Amino acid sequence: MISISNTTATLAWRNLWRHSRRTLLTIAAMVFADTLLVFMLGLQFGQYRMMIDNSLRVFTGQMQVQARGYLDEPHMFRSIPAADKLATSIRNNTRLDAVAVRGYGFALVSSGARTIGAQISGVDPQHEPLVSSIPGLVKQGRYLQGSNSNELVVGSTLARNLKVSPGDELTLLGSGRDGSIAATVAPVVGIFESGNRDLDRQMLSMPLDTFREVFSMGDHAHSIIIGGERSQADSIAAGARAALPADGELVLLSWEKLLPGLKQAIQADFTSAWFMYLVLIVLVAFGVLNTMLMSVLERTHEFGILLALGVRHGRLGRMIITESAVLAAIGLLLGMLAGGMVIWYFRVHGFTYPGMEAMGERFNIPSVLHPEVSLRSLLPGPLAVFIATLLASLYPIWHMRKLRPIEALQTI
Amino acid sequence: MKTPFSMLVTVAWRNLWRNHRRSLIMLAAIAIGLWGMIWMTALMRGMVDQMIDDAISTLSGHIQIHAPGYLDDPSVEHTIAAVADNPELDKLLHSPEVTAWSQRIRVPAVIRSERDVYGITLVGIDPQRERGLSFIADSVVSGHYLESVNDQHVLLGRKLVEQLETKLGRRIVILSQDPDNNIAERGFRIGGIYDTDLQATETTYVFAGIETVRRMLKMGSGVSEISLLGHDYRNVDGLAAEVRAVAGTAETSTWLQLDPYMASMLDVMDGFIIVWFCIIFLALSFGLINTLLMAVFERTREIGLIQALGMPPGNILLMVLVESSIMLLIGLLAGNLLSWLTLLPIRDGIDISAVAQGLEWAGMSSILLPAVKTSDVLLANGIVLVLGVLASLFPAWRASRKVPVEAITRIWQ
Amino acid sequence: MNSTAVSCRKVNKIFAQGELAVHALTSIDLDIASGGFVCLSGPSGSGKTTLLNMIGGLDRPTDGEITVAGQRIDRMSMSDLAELRLQHIGFVFQAYNLIPVLSARENVEFVMQLQGVPSSERRDRAMAILAEVGLQGMEDRRPGELSGGQQQRVAVARAIVSKPALILADEPTANLDSVTAEKLMQLMRDLNSQIGTTFVISTHDKLMMSYAKRLLKLHDGRIIDDIIQDDRQE
């Protein structure tokens, strides 16, 4: 049996090189498609990862603990009691420092010149930098210091509209958790520019304890932000969940729940990309189909001799499929190699195209992309081409199945 | 040279069908390739057209006029003269070049219900003029649209109503700032609720009669913006220049200037379409060259024969090119037909609400209307035909370069 | 007829086969008068085919001069050679003579089409010549639907239809049975005597040789015998 399959393989290999140019062109087509697929998949995954990381890094974090229902209807009274203690136990459970407590409120903010409604976030200046990039994106002045100091940092567009700069005072007027009037006056110490339009236009941060005092929050908060690596999200989530009280009043939300739009945007993009990939794969499959059909048709006479010698149709079929398999395997290997080299090159040097800066701003991605070099970008495209190639060889086999030796021998 | 073309066509045509399986497979590949090109561009164009439509009907119009500084600081301080006070502009806006126009007061404000408070943009509109210009009149899902410039009701987005935990007919309070920096506050009853594809629109804009807003803010006769529509969103620069000439010190901007992201999106799209066409063509070209090379290779003897009979080498090249051109033309015909047939059932749009939230995030709506542009179809056909003939030059050249002896030694024996 | 149809002067042809130089033709001096019916004979590898190639302008000599129809062809360009073949030379090959995608009539018309003969005239002439070679009623068959002898007759019809001065045939009877072969020979000989077309035919066939007016024997690339057998009657 071993010797038989060896001869089949040898025969297949030699047959492939009878028309070396044709075989090379066919392999070139596969390698072209493979390389393109690997490159595009790598780029997509790289881009998605950056979109996710960049979106989460700014403000959202990997996951959050919130009171049940707060995500859909963010009312102040839907809050987390004894939030600091809970945060500490989450830190202990997950062995992760990047856990920060926040409270949110809304207030009319007045400078001397302007009054604008703004979102107020009360943050813990010690832990906030571990879950959000905003503290590092202060363009003027400085970030908040101390959990109970009376000071504010303001989004850049909001600051421009309010016509304030560091040193100016703002008056806040809103309502507290219990419905009482929340009012305070505090100086602006810094202005941040996150690149996220909404945050820059609407947000203003103050130290958490000051926030609690102004908005009558007690020891409550609205959200506990958990950072960390996305690759370890499962174990972090398990640790965090263990710290939650059993009554189910608090829930742990993953980034997919916090930013459902982001997840679906990625899915939508992926769906449309697959349409393109499919067209490409089908075209390559047709090319291979033609090559295999030709190589079978032109050997009709030869097959007639083999049949006359007593070789079974099944054996011929195996020979043809072995040829396709060898062809497809060469394409697979070279394609993955070429594709791998291309994405490795762009991973090191970055990839960009004109117009991407404006797009990048909108989607919160950098204008230079680095493709992801991983098995999930390297394998699926070439594998799909490989399978399509094998499928394409079924037609010639089907075509040969009713060949009679005598007819075949009469064909030149 | 002097070989009659009809003969080349006859021989090429019959040669094409000698191996009908091979030719049919190649034709199918060309047809599918073209189909992929046309479909992909139709969907992408549809998506972009929709985004542009949404952007334009979400208050931008084709051209807007603002006070200098308003775009950077959209406050009540930055106003321009109303149309009635600018006779030249008035004349232009009533000319046939302008299909719709309106003026608005647009200021940042705060809305408060019994339950919650949010920051919004308050827009005072002329309800009759907004019809046909923006989305508002067509999007009211409950209650009714504003009736006049003095209407005392407000129009809220569905999502905002939910967030405020209020409903149709209830009262809300809107706070903003008047030109003297005093807080202007006024209660309104919710007269209507509108629904759009984009949630951000619903939570941002609250509409009221323009004169009602003017009184609330104690403003003079000015307005924040004038928005107008021409005939074609792709071609607005000429009209913008005319508007600029009569707008005085006010700033005139086209929608492309107001939304540079959209403009760059259009450019990226055009570039991407060409790249996509070329990629598909490259994938096709391997098969095309291979098929023709095989055809030429099989016919070495014949090519030797016709050359021996006195056909000039140039004509043999031409013959192979004619063969590939026929193949390309039939394939393109089939591809166009296939595209047309498959686009027909979805010409009213595809419901893509399964991924709607994601599309909304990207500023799109959930019904995708494929947009087949003649220029794209022509470009796709042109690229396949021209590059296809170029690609067949190599096999054709191989055929014509067969020195008779070499080819004929196969004939003699 | 005293004019010269073909003339060769000191024609040599050397093929390089790897390191080895093969002398296919050595110092051939030959004049063939118009209206001749010449057979080339000799064992395989004696240079018959190479000589036909040279005369037909399908290949170039290594050195020496070849004149056909009054024109020096040994240094002509590919295109000019094609033109010369088209206007002055007809070919009959051993096999695969016809263009498979064209019918018998279209094959005959092919050369006339290349010459630019108007289509109605082309058609009439093709029908007439096919009738003359005994293929009436088979004009619309494709080569695959004709027997070997019929195919060769179409090839002869094609070669003579535009009345070339010279017809070159390489073993035209090699794949035919003896009855069909004799009919074909008779046909060629008739054409030679009626129209005066010059024939140069390479052959192994003794019968064919007996039809020749002049018999050239080749061996190892040289002419070793030149026999005039003009007395021989058809």
**Other CB atoms closer than 10 Å to residue A145's CB: what's the count?**
12
Q: What is the pLDDT of residue B364?
A: 56
DSSP state of B80: B
Does position B368 have pLDDT exceeding 80, yes or no? no
The neighbouring-strand residues paired with C226 are C216
Report chain A residues whose CB lies below 8 A from the CB of B280: 279-280, 283
Q: What are phi and psi of A99, to 5 degrees?
A: -135, 120
Report residue B370: phi and psi, to 5°. Answer: -65, 140
The number of CA neighbours under 13 Å toward the Cβ of A32 is 22
Q: Does A116 sit within 8 Å of B108, measured CB to CB?
A: yes
Q: Give the pair of three-digit tokens for residue A280.
A: 């490409």
Residue A93 CB partners (closer than 8 Å, separation 6+): A239, A240, A242, A243
pLDDT for A2 beyond 50: no
**Which amino acid, residue B253?**
S
Max mean pLDDT among A24-33, A38-47, A332-341 falls in: A332-341
- What is residue A354's predicted lDDT score, i.e. its pLDDT? 65
Pairing mode of beta strands B140-143, B100-112: unpaired
CA nearest to A37 within chain B: B279
Half-sphere exposure (Cβ direction) of B144: Cα atoms closer than 13 Å: 5
Asked if residue A63 lies in contact with residue A252, where contact means CB atoms within 8 angstroms, the answer is yes
pLDDT digits (tens, 9 = 90+) for B304-313: 888 888 888 8
Rounded Cα distance, C98 and C107, in Å: 7
A4, two tokens: 């038989």
Q: Is C101 close to B15, i.e. CB distance below 8 A? A: yes
Q: Over the stretch B93-130, which tens digit does the pLDDT of each residue have?
A: 999 999 999 999 999 899 998 888 888 999 999 999 99
User: What is the three-class DSSP state of A116?
Assistant: strand
Tell me which H or E stretch contains A277. helix A260-297
Q: Please tell me which chains touch B, using 3 or more CB pairs under 8 Å as the contact test.
A: A, C
Q: Quick count: other Cβ atoms within 10 Å of Cβ A262? A: 22
Q: Given a cut of 70, is residue B286 above it in pLDDT?
A: yes
- Nearest neighbour of C91 by CB, restricted to B15, B309, B311: B309
* Whole-number Å distance between alpha carbons of B136 and B52: 16
Cβ proximity of A38 and A381 under 8 Å: yes
Q: Which of B29, B175, B279 sits opposite A287 (nearest CB)?
A: B29
CB contact set of C19 (below 8 Å; sequence gap of 6+):
none
Give the tens place of pLDDT for each residue, A73-122.
Answer: 888 889 999 999 999 999 999 999 999 999 999 998 998 888 888 999 99
Closest alpha carbon to A124 in A105, A102, A96, A92:
A102
CA-CA distance, C203 to A85, in Å (whole number)? Answer: 110
Give contacts of B 298-337 with C, CB under 8 A.
301-302, 305-314
Predicted local confidence at residue C69, as pLDDT: 85
C90, C154 in Cβ contact below 8 A?
A: no
Residue ranges of alpha helices (H) inside C67-215 are 78-88, 104-115, 119-132, 148-161, 178-195, 206-211
**Segment A210-237 mean pLDDT:** 92
Cα separation, C6 vs C166, whole angstroms: 9
A290–B291 C-beta distance less than 8 A: yes
User: Cβ B308–C110 below 8 Å, yes or no?
Assistant: no
Distance from CA of C190 to the nearest CA of B (A): 23
The residue of C114, C117, C200 whose CB has the most chain B CBs within 10 angstroms, and thus the best one to mutate to test that interface, is: C114
Asked if C118 reaches chain B (Cβ–Cβ under 8 Å), the answer is no
- In angstroms, the CA A372 to CA A382 distance is 16
pTM as predicted: 0.77
Q: Which position has the token pair 């000989």? A: C189
* C-alpha distance from C153 to closest chain B C-alpha (Å): 16
Cβ A384 vs Cβ A25: under 8 Å: no
Residues in CB range of B231: below 8 A, 6 or more apart: B97, B99
Residue whose token pair is 């070989």: B3
CA A311 from chain centre, in angstroms, equals 53
pLDDT per residue over A264-289, tens digit each? 778 877 877 888 888 888 888 888 88
Would the CB atoms of B310 and C114 count as touching at under 8 Å?
yes
> What mean pLDDT is predicted for residues B343-360?
69
For every residue of B338-398, DSSP letters joined together read HHHHHHGGGTT-EE-GGGHHHHHHTT--SEE-----HHHHHHHHHHHHHHHHHHHHHHHHH
What pLDDT does residue B143 have? 93
Q: Do B358 and A280 touch (CB under 8 A)?
A: no
The tokens for B51 are 């985004």
What mean pLDDT is predicted for residues A347-370? 69
> What distance in Å separates the CA atoms of residue A280 and residue B276, rounded to the nearest whole number?
10
Q: Which residues pair with B122 in a beta bridge?
A: B107, B206
Cβ proximity of A101 and A208 under 8 Å = yes
How far apart CA A187 and CA A206 sit, in angstroms, is 10
For B185-223, what is each residue's pLDDT tens digit? 999 999 999 998 777 788 889 999 999 999 999 998 899
Q: Which residues from chain A sit within 8 angstroms of residue B110, using beta carbons?
A: 108, 117
Per-residue exposure over A99-125, b if at least 16 CB sit within 10 Å of its own CB, e if not? bbbbbbbbbbbbbeebbbbbbbbbbbb
Report the SS3 class of residue A402.
coil
Q: How close is the nearest chain A Cα to the Cα of B45, in Å?
A: 13
The residues facing A41 across adjacent strands are: none
Three state DSSP letters for A303-372: HHHHHHCCCCHHHHHHHHHHHHHHHHHHHHHHHHHHHHHHHHHHHHHCECCCCHHHHHHHHCCCCCECCC
| pLDDT value at A68 more than 50 | yes
Q: Is C144 on the interface with B (CB under 8 A)?
A: no
Answer whether A115 sits within 8 Å of B181, measured CB to CB: yes
Question: Tokens representing A320?
Answer: 């043809």
Residue C156 to residues C97, C107, C209, C213: CA-CA distances in angstroms? Answer: 10, 11, 18, 19
Distance of CA C215 to the CA centre of its chain: 15
Residue B249, CB half-sphere, CA atoms under 13 Å: how many?
8
Interface check A248 vs B, CB under 8 A: no
Gap between the Cα atoms of B39 and B380, Å rounded: 11
Looking at residue C65, what is its pLDDT? 92
| A235 phi, psi to nearest 5 deg | -70, -35
* Cα(B9)–Cα(B321) distance, integer angstroms: 10
Q: Among residues A271, A270, A156, which one has the least CA distance to residue A205? A: A156
Average pLDDT of the segment spanning B365-380: 82
Distance of alpha carbon A57 from the chain centroid: 14
> In the structure encoding, which two tokens stand for residue B125, read together?
């509109």
Per-residue pLDDT at A334: 95
The minimal CB distance from C85 to the residues B310, B412, B413 is found for: B310
Nearest CB neighbour to B404, from listed C58, C83, C96: C58
Residue C153 class from Cβ within 10 Å (0-12 exposed, 13-18 middle, 19+ buried)?
Answer: buried
* Strand B251-254 versus strand B153-157 pairing type: unpaired
Nearest CA in chain B to C89: B309
Residue C14: its chain B contacts at CB < 8 A? none
Neighbouring CB atoms inside 10 A of B385's CB total: 17
Contact yes or no for A276 and B356 at CB 8 A: no
Burial (CB count <10 Å: 0-12, 13-18, 19+), residue C224: exposed
Q: B59 to chain A nearest CA, in Å?
A: 19
Residues C168 and C89 sit within 8 Å (Cβ to Cβ): yes
Q: Do chains A and C touch (3 or more CB pairs under 8 A)?
A: no
* Helices and strands (H, E) in chain C, number of each type: 7, 10
pLDDT given at position B153? 94
Among A399-408, B287-296, C198-207, which range has the highest average pLDDT? Answer: C198-207
Chain B residues touching A159 at Cβ < 8 A: none
Instruction: Please give the average per-residue pLDDT across A20-31, as a whole number.
Output: 87
In Å, how far is A264's CA from the nearest CA of chain B? 4
DSSP C82: H
DSSP count for chain A of H helices, then E strands = 17, 10
**What span, in angstroms and rounded, lies between the C-alpha atoms of B325 and B387?**
11
Q: Which of B302, B397, B408, B410 has the most C C-beta neighbours within 10 Å, making it the best mutation to test the interface with C?
A: B408
Q: Classify strands B153-157 and B183-194 as parallel, antiparallel or unpaired.
A: parallel
Token code pair at residue B241: 């220049």
How far is the alpha carbon of B15 from chain C, nearest alpha carbon, in Å? 6
Residues of B within 8 A of C87 (CB-CB) are 310
Q: Provide mean pLDDT across the span A26-38.
A: 89
Contacts of C97 (CB under 8 A, 6+ apart): B305, B411, C151, C152, C154, C155
Closest Cβ–Cβ partner in B36, B177, B358 for A261: B358
**From the list B4, B311, B411, which residue is nearest C96 (CB)?**
B411
Look at residue A302 in the predicted model and tell me its pLDDT.
79
Residue B395: predicted pLDDT: 87
The per-residue pLDDT for A21 is 82
Closest chain B residue by Cα to residue A289: B25
B161 pLDDT higher than 90: yes
Alpha-carbon gap, residue B128 to A168, rounded angstroms? 44
Task: Kindly indicate whether the ipTM for this predicted assembly is greater than 0.90, answering yes or no.
Answer: no
> Per-residue pLDDT tens for B330-350?
999 999 999 999 988 887 777
pLDDT (tens digit, 9 = 90+) per residue, C133-185? Answer: 888 899 999 888 988 888 888 988 888 888 888 999 988 887 778 887 888 88
Q: Are the beta carbons of C33 and C59 closer than 8 angstroms?
A: no
Give the residue from B226, B212, B236 showing the smallest Cα distance to B149. B212
* Residue C222 CB-density burial (10 A; 0-12 exposed, 13-18 middle, 19+ buried): middle
A297 touches chain B (CB under 8 A): yes
